[in-house]
Amino acid sequence: MTRIEGETLIGRPPVIVFDFVADQRNEPKFNPRMVRAEMISDPPIGNGSRFVATMKSVGRSADMVIEFTSFERPLRLGSKTRMSWVDIEGGLTFEPHSAGTLMRWSWEVQPKRFTRLISPIILRMGKRQEEAIWGNLKRLLESGDEPQMA
């Protein structure tokens, strides 16, 4: 098992950041590797909500199912993500800060089958990808435009 953690300061209030991130259908707006995301559970979004998403990587696509395991608006969002080659469990926290929101992420990454052999590579790639994804979110939410919800 591998842990990926990090944080970013976003110049928007926690409720704005939380609501935008909690609607997984928004993720393709700031994650260029996610090509689609749709809600497969009944609204409203909350604890137990489920989404299916498709990621592209190295010319291939992979489907994932994301389920919220905790939903404490606007402070904490926990989730489990299941893919054919990896399971990811963890969450995001949204802490009020004088400059907006200090958002932290912490993920436990459990590679399956052959990918266990390349866990160190997954850790390095995962850290870089998470920093890029959340950096894109920061730029999007701080762009001055009101974020358009999915």
Q: Which two tokens stand for residue 71?
A: 């939903």
Q: What is the CATH number of the domain that holds 119?
A: 3.30.530.20
**Secondary structure of 25-79 in the HEC alphabet?**
HHHHHCCCCEEEEEECCCCCCCCCCEEEEEEEECCEEEEEEEEEEEEECCCEEEE
For the cut 70, the answer to whether the pLDDT of residue 26 exceeds it is yes
Burial, 36: exposed, middle or buried (Cβ in 10 Å; 0-12, 13-18, 19+)? middle
Is 21 a member of any domain?
yes
Q: Is the Cα dihedral 47, 51, 57, 60 positive or negative?
A: positive
34-53 average pLDDT score: 97
100-129 average pLDDT score: 78
Is 149 a member of any domain?
no
pLDDT of residue 72: 98
Is 54 a member of any domain?
yes
For the cut 60, the answer to whether the pLDDT of residue 101 exceeds it is yes
Closest of 92, 85, 40 to residue 66, by C-alpha: 40
Given pLDDT bands bounded at 50, 70 and 90, which one contains residue 85?
Answer: confident
For the cut 90, the answer to whether the pLDDT of residue 113 exceeds it is no
Is 150 a member of any domain?
no
| Higher per-residue confidence, 150 vs 9 | 9
Which value, to the nearest 10 degrees, does the dihedral of the CA atoms of residues 91, 126, 5, 17 take?
A: -50
For the cut 90, the answer to whether the pLDDT of residue 58 exceeds it is no
Is 72 a member of any domain?
yes
For the cut 80, the answer to whether the pLDDT of residue 119 exceeds it is no
Is 147 a member of any domain?
no
- The pTM for the full model equals 0.90
Average pLDDT along the chain: 90
Could you give phi then psi for residue 41, rounded to 5 degrees? -105, 170
Is 83 a member of any domain?
yes
31-49 average pLDDT score: 97
pLDDT of residue 71: 98
Domain containing residue 106? 2-141
Looking at the structure of the chain, the number of domains it has is 1
For the cut 70, the answer to whether the pLDDT of residue 70 exceeds it is yes
Is 78 a member of any domain?
yes
